[in-house]
Structures are given as structure tokens and as C-alpha cells.
Amino acid sequence: MNLLVVGASYRTTPVATLERLAVAPTDHRRLVARLLAQPYVGEAVIVSTCNRVEVYAAVSAFHGGLGDICGVLATHAGYPPADLANHLYVHYDGAAVDHVFRVAAGLDSMVVGEAQILGQLRDAYHAATETEAPGRLLHELMQQALRVGKRAHAETDIDRAGQSVVTAALDLAATHLGGLAGRPALVVGAGAMGALAVATLSRGGVGPLSVTNRSAERAVRLAETYGASPAPIDDLSATLSEVDVVVAATASTTPVLTRELVAGVLAERAHRRSGPLVLLDLAVPRDVEADVAELPGVFVIDIDRLAEDLPEGPAAADTAAVNRIVATEVEAFLTWLRGADVAPTVAALRGRADEVVTAELRRLANRRPELTDEQRGEVARTVHRVVQRLLHSPTVRVRQLAAEPGGDQYAALLRELFDLDVPQTATAQAVPDIAAGTTFFEGGAR
């Protein structure tokens, strides 16, 4: 099996396309099952956040696996595969490991260095394990990626600014409102992003702060944690008319803040408050209907706007330090992977040796029936010791050689020399060149 990453992010894909690709929690199990039902996909993890949708997979063949994954994504998004292909990036084997580790370290995030992606990766991994979608390869990849992300934050100052998509969006909102302190605010949604928004707004001194959610119980729990007030979702219009800033971060598949709703709120709000109503839409699919931004008296900040207006990222020295960590960890993972790949060949060689010894001992027993059980046992132990000693040095050495770049050739030679029937291993296949003229490209955009 080989590692394959197929994805779309804010770097390569319009928000409208990301919206259609986004995988809601209720759809996750179904989509993973469809991936695993494909002929070339053996393991799968789906990561779906506000600015990326990625499939991490173990596949038995590059082109077959790529076609399977893209077909599932295209069907899910309602796009012809050829149209969707223009927005996708592809990473294979070593490049796939590098990409996943960079994502975990926050290097590929819209806000470079943000730590929220670690929680999102962990949630994606746990959701996949509930359906037994990851096998040995993806279990190891995800566990190591989470460790690499933690190491990057522990050993460098890449997250020194403490920025996240939420804080970046609120900083933009503050520029339009002359600051957020003392401003009444509302958070729509009580998931991970909503909780981060409530915590950030609370630290920023907004007030009063309200929380609303389709599940009233979750809104109450979140509000109590940060001294906010829960607001019934049925009274959304009334609550909106009393605030200056709204953070929308739900998992709804349709807009929560429609043009009709916001237009009515603006008319009511004009009698109560001055200044613009700032709507921060951090959801994918979007919570704020697209044409709401056309209404006078409202300012919408969404993922597209964030990508355009984000400030500079961490210091170059911090980014370079994380890049060094990632490079070291990628090489360590690939070394483990090459060593893991030779293990089935070594096991098959030892199994072949045991078969030969067993057959020869059986023949000896037939030719020399006068031997006692004790004598036959002593002969068997002696022959096994001889074979194990003969195999010990070459099998240890082949493991060492296999851990080096290009080491898969040694396992292949063993299979050829001893005529071993071993299934194709994780790195035994050469990385293919992607066919000329294809709309997919290896490595993707960073």
C-alpha cells in the first residue's frame, strides 16, 4: 500500500467549491465507507475544516487510487470529475508524509502557526477510527503527525502571536468597529470553532456576549463556561438586532443568516444602534448568504476576505525552525516505512526456511525410523539453530539497508533470489510520473 493525499484548500479552491466539498459530521461515516468500497483504497481519513478538505489514503496503486478518491469527491460535491480536478492537489508517498506533517505543524494553515489544526486532525483521526478506516499505515501516519505538530509548537515560537482564524477575523472586525471592547457580540454555533470564538471574544472584553445554537443545551453549557448568555435560536432576529459583531460558525449545510433575515434585522437595528453590523462567517459551507454583503450597513468577513487581508505570519526564523523539524521527522517516518516494508519479505524468507527444515526432518524420520524421539528432537533443534544463525546476519543487514533511500531494492532482490510470494509492500512501487495532460499534479501548491 502507498500513501496518497488528495485535497483542496483556500490556496487552490474558491470558497464556493470548498462549500460543496465540505464533509459535515453527519456525512463523514458515509463518505469514508464509500472510499473504502473503492477497489484501490485500503485505508482512509477525511479532514474537513473551514479552509481545507483532504483525503489521506493508503492505496494499492497510484492512478487507480487517485481515480477512486477523485470520483468519490466529485460525486459528493456534485461536480464532473474533470471540473473538480482543476482545484485539487495530489501528494504521493514521501510528498504525502511531508504535506501531512506540514499541515499538523501549522505551516499550511491560512494563519501560519495556528494550533487549532491539531485538534481538527485529531478529531478527523478519531472519527475515522470509529469506522475502522485507518489501518497500520494511516494509524502510524496520524499518530506521528500529531506528535510532530505538538513538537513544532513546543520547540519553536511559531505560535507566539497566538493567532487563529478566529483571532485574525476578529482583528479585522475591530478595524471596522474601532475596537471590540464593550461591543455587544453574538456567536452562532457551539462547536469547536464557536467555542474558540466565545473564548476569544470573552478575553477581548466584549459585552454583553451571547451564544446561540440549534442544540440549546450546548449553547447553555458554552455560555456558562465563559460567563456569556444563551440565546434561543428561535429569537435569532431579535438577538441580532442588539449586537455589533456576529461570529457564525455552524455545521449547517444551508445559510443561517439569509439576506431576508439580515435585511429585517438591519431595519430594526437602525432604531437601536449606530455603526455597521459586522458578520464574521467562519463556516464552510457558508453561514452567511452570499448577497448579504450587498446590504447597506453590514460588513461581511468570510474565508475569502481573510485570505486577502491576513497580516504577515511568524518570523522567518521560527518558520525555518519548524521546517527543519518537519524535514527531520519526514525522513524518520520514511526510514520506519522502508523498514516496515521489508518485514514481510524477511518473514516470508524465514517461513520458507522453516518449510524446508520441516520437510527435510520429515524425510529423515521416514528414512531412519529407528531414531528415538529424543534423537529426532535433538536433530531438529540443531538444524533449526543452524538455519537461524545463517539467516540472522543477512536479515539484520537487509533491514538496515532497507532503511536507507532506495532500500526497497534489497527486499525485491530477496524475493527474486528465493522466489518468495510476498504481496506488494508500501514503498515497493516506484513513484509514477503523472500522465502528460492530466489535470492533477503531484505535490500540489503550498
Tell me the pLDDT tens digit for each residue of 180-217. Answer: 889 999 999 998 888 889 988 988 888 899 999 998 99
Pair 59, 200 in one domain: no
Tell me which of 162-176, 251-265, 424-438 is least confident.
Answer: 424-438
- What is the CATH classification number for the domain harbouring 285? 3.40.50.720
Q: Which residues pair with 280 in a beta bridge?
A: 247, 301
The string of pLDDT tens digits covering residues 22-54 is 998 889 999 999 999 999 999 999 999 888 999
Residues 23, 123: one domain? yes
Q: Residues 146, 170: one domain?
A: no
Decide: 88 and 6 in contact? Cβ < 8 Å.
yes
Please check the confidence at residue 429 and state whether its pLDDT lies above 60. Answer: no
**So what's the pLDDT on residue 256?**
93
- Note whether residue 441 is domain-resident: no
pLDDT in tens, 282-322: 888 889 998 999 999 899 998 888 877 665 555 566 788 89
Residues 76 and 171 both lie in one domain: no
Residue 80 near residue 74 (C-beta atoms within 8 A): yes
Q: Taking residues 75-94, what's their average pLDDT?
A: 91
Residue that wins the pLDDT comparison between 438 and 370: 370
Residues 11, 48 within the same domain: yes
Instruction: Check whether residue 73 and residue 33 sit in a common domain.
Output: yes
Residue 258 lies in a domain: yes
Determine, yes or no, domain membership for 434.
no
Say yes or no: 285 and 191 in one domain: yes
Structure confidence at residue 166 (pLDDT) = 84
SS3 2: strand
How many CB atoms are closer than 10 A to CB 63?
A: 14
Maximum separation of any 2 CA atoms in the chain, in Å: 110
- Among residues 124, 134, 103, 114, the alpha carbon closest in space to that of 47 is found at 124
| Domain ranges, residue 95 | 2-155
Q: Which has the higher per-residue pLDDT, 241 or 425? A: 241
Top-confidence residue, 121 or 376: 121
Question: Does the reported pTM lie above 0.85?
Answer: no
What residue has cell string 465563559?
Answer: 226
Three-state DSSP class for residue 115: coil
Residue 212, by phi and psi: left (phi above 0), alpha (psi -120 to 50) or beta?
beta
Range ranked top by mean pLDDT from 197-206, 337-346, 389-398: 197-206
- Grid coordinates standing for 194? 464557536
432 belongs to a structural domain: no
Q: Domain for residue 433, yes or no? A: no
Cross-strand pairs, 43: 58
The residues carrying an active-site annotation are: 50
Whether the predicted pLDDT of 433 surpasses 60: no
pLDDT score of 427:
41
Among 90, 122, 155, give the residue marking a domain's end: 155
**164, 139 in Cβ contact below 8 A?**
no
Answer yes or no: is 316 within a domain.
Answer: no
Asked if residue 389 and residue 351 are part of one domain, the reply reads yes
Quickly list H helices, 368-407. 373-402
Tell me the average pLDDT across 5-30. 89
pLDDT at 431 over 60: no
Q: Are strands 298-301 and 2-9 parallel, antiparallel or unpaired?
A: unpaired
317 assigned to some structural domain:
no
Query: Are 351 and 289 contained in the same domain?
Result: no
Count structural domains, the chain. Answer: 3
**Among 257, 276, 309, where does a domain finish?**
309
Strands (E), 76-132: 89-92
> Residue 436 has what pLDDT?
29
Same domain, 285 and 383: no
40 contacts 56 by C-beta, under 8 angstroms: no
* pLDDT reading at 230 higher than 90: yes
> Does residue 142 sit in the same domain as residue 93?
yes
Q: Which of 49-63, 82-96, 103-117 has the lowest mean pLDDT?
A: 103-117
Regarding whether 379 and 303 lie in a shared domain, the answer is: no
296 vs 343, more confident = 296
Q: Which of 155, 176, 202 is the last residue of a domain?
A: 155
Q: Which of the pair, 17 or 392, is modelled with greater confidence? A: 17
Q: List Cα–Cα distances, 77 to 20, 65, 280, 283, in angstroms.
A: 5, 18, 24, 17
Task: Judge whether 428 lies within some domain.
Answer: no
Residue 84 predicted with pLDDT over 50: yes
For residues 49 and 117, the answer to whether their CB atoms sit within 8 Å is yes
